[in-house]
A and B are shown apart, each in its own frame.
Chain A
Amino acid sequence: MNATIGLPEVFRIISRSQETQDVFTLEMTPHSARKGDELLFSPGQFNMLYAFGFGDVPISISGDLTQRDRWTHTIRNVGGVTKNLFHLKEGDCLGVRGPFGTSWPTDQNEGEEMVIVCGGLGLVPLRPLLLHLEKHRNHYSSIHLFYGAKSPEDILFTSDLHRWSQSFRVEITVDHVEKDWRGHVGLVTHLFARLQTHLPKTTILICGPDVMMQMASQKFLEMGYASEKIYVSLERNMKCGVGHCGHCQLGRHVICRDGPVFQLNQVFREMNIKEF
């Protein structure tokens, strides 16, 4: 392909919504007319978002695949650049490069059982896939979503979750709870401990903090699932998004280029080496 790395393209925010206290969603469209009007991506891919004067950060795309006129990004206000993005309002501009990276498998065989495990913000890169599964519910023999959040207040996309729970299994757990919570409390790995699906026909997708992905993937292997059918989405420092800056290396992988979505067998060892 050999594309030249371009500049961030200027986008304008068309809507902003607050998901939780520190998580927000921005929808944006190109500021000026562009070649090939459609904004295409695959679930699991990310864009580099640039805040004027502050720098850029890799952020997963959280929108609907079929909405091709905008990018949707769900972001946590956690660092210098994201804090700046946090304060952007409807009508403000930001820069976008992308989309970059590999994606979750979407072309599953008929009758596949889908198991999705996510922790915290790990739900964000899986949302486009979940929306896709919802639309093609009858292609799958079963769909299971296991989602762990810090507290009930940190649960993202509550209206999606409610709707999804009407058409497939959705189980949510939280780490800390004050009161008025009737759901699970504890680790997300406890939720799927008694999962029973047809092993060869099950695809598992995991996204969350490193420790959670280590534990969850280990657990699935112990349960007999094959590592080729398990996918994880990894995160490392990224500056360029195109494999040139060297920051997101994980052993033999350059995560922005070879990932972020990997088959577990490609990264299992690397994920489990301390400070790798």
Chain B
Amino acid sequence: MCADLRSTSTYPCYNLPLKLLDELFSLLQRDGFQIIGPTLQDGAIRYEQVHCSNHLICGYVDHQSGGAYHLKSQGDLYFGYTVPQDSWRRHLQRPVETIWRSTRSPAGFDMKEILEPLIQRVFWGVRPCELRAIEIQDQVFLKGNYVEPHYRRQREDLFLVVANCIRATSTCFCTSMGVQPFLKGPENHKNPRFDLVLTELEGRSFLVRTGSSRALTYIQKLGLQEAVPEDLLMEEELSEKVHSDLKKNRGIEQDHLKEIMNSQLESPYWNHVAQRCLSCSNCTLVCPTCFCSTTEDVIGLDENTTERVRRWDSCFDLSHSYIHGGSVRKSVSSRYRQWITHKLVTWDEQFGTPGCVGCGRCITWCPVGIDIREEVKNLKALWLKS
């Protein structure tokens, strides 16, 4: 059965018993890979380096809603949670990084680029929405006229291991943004750019599909058995489960979205949002696609050496739109409008993809629980009225 599926619309699939997990990690490490995976730190999930499967978070389930996040010990799955506050963006576009150094010389000054050494890394447990987010940032940093060398360095040679979602929390709305929570084969994910996709099956094993030839070599080295029909059946059930969870959630209707947003650019409605928005930037800092950065020059005490430091910036910061004479977007309402229209409409016009993957982080981590889906719904109601 599996062979048939393999030949048509899905990737080759195997069963990875949990007891072989550490062997897989060892094989990867022996080839020079550093493994970054979900860990439990101070009561929160963080994507950090792991050396063995014991370091991975296991047996936790999360519940998220507007302005609320609960992580509790439940079950025995590795991937029982949905999406954490942390995102892979931190490992690709560094929150703070020194990008070059300039030193005074008799002739003036010399410039030297600072590029982190290339480390081969495995991202273990990338959610399908997060995979999409990485592709969106690739579009910004690698696919335009100019390539961003620091992002490219972090992105080079990544071994991407996707973990399919087996449940959704109330803030999830990926499907409405055109993102599939469950990857099986080319039919629901064009041009796979991952190496492995995992579906965690009850009974302590993963169903593994491969998306690259290098991934297949690890499968062969481990001597994995092809998945059995029962595995595929369970995979199907889990896929249905997550889809049915998502159906219960509100999404963002894509029909007329551009028209709706463009019609409301000067609406007094933005003041209504601004009354709640604290302009705290949380939504942009947890967002896996946000890419704004600013720079500062740090000069040494001897004034002979200076370093260019780049750090994440946010369109909610007043200084984001500063030009001589003051900031363009002085009001909170104009900054919220910038954020939401960029995410949902103008990003597509700028880079050819929407800027939102429907992970719901901006809803969960908004201290006042502003829900992007609700705001779009309200804007749509205004559009319908006018």
Contact = CB atoms under 8 A, between A and B. Distances in A.
B189 to A, nearest CB: 25
A53 B109 CA distance: 11
A155 B293 CA distance: 36
Interface secondary structure of A, over-half rule: loop
Interface stretch (A60-68, A213-221, A248-256): A248-256
A243 B145 contact: yes
A247 B321 contact: yes
Interface string B118-146: 00000000000000000000001100111
B341 A5 contact: no
B342 interface: yes
Interface stretch (B28-36, B58-66, B165-173, B324-332): B324-332
Interface stretch (A7-15, A130-138, A162-170, A182-190): A7-15
What is the interface residue range for chain A against chain B? Answer: 35 or more
A50 to B, nearest CB: 8
Contacts of B146: 2-5, 242-244
A1 B346 CA distance: 23
Interface string B137-157: 000110011111100100000
Nearest to B149: A4
A247 B313 contact: yes
B106 to A, nearest CB: 11
Given A2-B147, A10-B111, A275 B346 contact: no
Nearest to A272: B266
Interface stretch (A143-151, A192-200, A232-240): A232-240
Contacts of A275: 328-331, 334
A20 to B, nearest CB: 16
Interface string B337-367: 0100110011001100000000000000000
A263 to B, nearest CB: 16
A93 interface: yes
Contact of A247 (B102, B107, B292, B296): B292
B323 interface: yes
A247 B328 CA distance: 11
Nearest to B334: A275
B269 interface: no
Given A2-B145, A247-B313, A8 B111 contact: yes
Contact of B350 (A3, A8, A10, A249): A249
Interface string A241-276: 011111101011110010000000000000001111
Contacts of A152: none
A41 B220 CA distance: 56
Given A3-B145, A3-B147, A251-B346, A246 B323 contact: no
B248 interface: no
B108 interface: yes
Nearest to A92: B108
A242 B295 CA distance: 14
Interface in B101-115: 102, 104, 107-113
Contacts of B295: 55, 239, 245
B147 A31 contact: no
Interface in A1-40: 1-5, 7-10, 12, 31
B111 A7 contact: yes
A247 B265 contact: no
Interface secondary structure of B, over-half rule: mixed
B74 interface: no
B4 interface: no
A79 interface: yes
Contacts of B255: none
A223 interface: no
Nearest to B107: A31
Contact of A237 (B145, B321, B349): B321
A95 interface: yes
A4 B306 CA distance: 22
B320 to A, nearest CB: 6
Given A55-B295, A246-B313, A236 B328 contact: yes
Given A3-B145, A237-B322, A242-B145, A273 B113 contact: no
B40 interface: no
A246 B291 contact: yes
Contacts of A249: 338, 342, 346, 350
A52 interface: yes
Contact of B321 (A9, A92, A236, A240): A236
A90 to B, nearest CB: 13
A2 B349 CA distance: 19
Contact of B299 (A1, A53, A252): A53
Contacts of B331: 275
A54 interface: yes
A245 B144 CA distance: 13
Interface string B267-300: 0000000000000000000000001111111010
A84 to B, nearest CB: 10
Contacts of A78: 324
Contacts of A1: 145
Interface centre among B110, B296, B321 (most CB of A within 10 A): B321
20 contacts: A1-B145, A4-B147, A4-B149, A5-B147, A10-B110, A54-B297, A55-B297, A93-B109, A95-B102, A95-B109, A95-B111, A236-B321, A237-B322, A243-B144, A244-B148, A246-B292, A251-B346, A252-B350, A273-B265, A275-B334
Interface of A: 1-5, 7-10, 12, 31, 52-55, 76, 78-79, 92-93, 95, 235-237, 239-240, 242-247, 249, 251-254, 257, 273-276
